Amino acid sequence: MQASASPSTVTTADAPASRNTVGFGRLRWRVVDIVVASVIGVASGLIFLLWNIGYLGPKGLLDPLLPGLQGLLDGPWLFAGVLGALIIRKPGAALYTETLAAVVSALVGNQWGGFLTLEAGLVQGLGAELIFLIFFYRAWKLPVAMLAGAGAAIAGGINNLVLWYVGADAGFTVIYMISTTISGAVIAGALSWFLARGLAATGALDRFASGRERRDLV
């Protein structure tokens, strides 16, 4: 016969551990987090591949208008990290999904080469990750998503200026940084936020806080 502990004994012994793990437990990655984040990263990488070619047309139209305005086209390369973080809501999600998307783009091949593609993904993912970190991974509203998109754009923009636009004058630099920041905030930030809400509304994210939060509001 098995001995059973009294309710008072279990409560006294386990309560401190429960209080200590609740706060940190929400930040721990589960298997489902890894799987879904990986799916987001790979799917985003496929979109990157399409945009690697698709952006050439709009770029040809923007370049003659105003040097630096091509920064408006950067957003589609920045959304993976923001979307991944909004759905997974765990430390490292933005960095992981953006980098994985870059890995997919690099493996298939593009005009920028594997190493520079991976490096760009890391930098952009880190830019978004830092914004969510500033808010202690507790704020997931539209303004924070837009800030994260802008953070990815600023980090990526500085990286591009150093590697691809060496010697650019002040006018180009200012116009490019403003353009890429706007693109990051709107496309990578706002659109990712609306996409995450749309997915949550379907019930596909019910195993995540992002899905449960949306369901509770309905």
Instruction: Give the residue extent of every domain in the chain.
Output: 31-208
pLDDT range class, residue 21, cuts 50, 70, 90: very low
pLDDT range class, residue 214, cuts 50, 70, 90: low
- Compute the distance between CA of residue 102 and CA of residue 207 in angstroms, rounded to an integer: 26
Tens-digit pLDDT profile for residues 81-131: 999 999 999 999 999 999 999 999 999 988 899 999 999 999 999 999 999
Predicted local confidence at residue 28, as pLDDT: 92
Measure CA of the first residue to CA of the last residue in the chain; give whole Å.
Answer: 49
Phi (first) and psi of residue 101, to 5 degrees: -60, -40
Judged against a pLDDT cut of 60, whether residue 18 lies above it is answered with: no
What average pLDDT does the segment 62-66 reach? 91
Predicted local confidence at residue 79, as pLDDT: 98
Predicted local confidence at residue 181, as pLDDT: 98
CA distances from 175 to 155, 157, 165, 167, 170 (A): 15, 11, 13, 15, 9
pTM of the predicted model, to two decimals? 0.86
Weakest mean pLDDT among 12-26, 152-166, 172-186: 12-26
What average pLDDT does the segment 192-199 reach? 97
Please state, rounded to an integer, the average pLDDT across all residues of the chain.
89
Phi (first) and psi of residue 167, to 5 degrees: 85, 5
Q: Which amino acid is at 62?
A: L
Tens-digit pLDDT profile for residues 50-59: 999 999 999 9
The domain defined by 31-208 folds into: Arp2/3 complex 21 kDa subunit ARPC3 (1.10.1760)
Three-state DSSP at 136 gives: coil
What percentage of the chain has pLDDT greater than the value 70?
Answer: 86
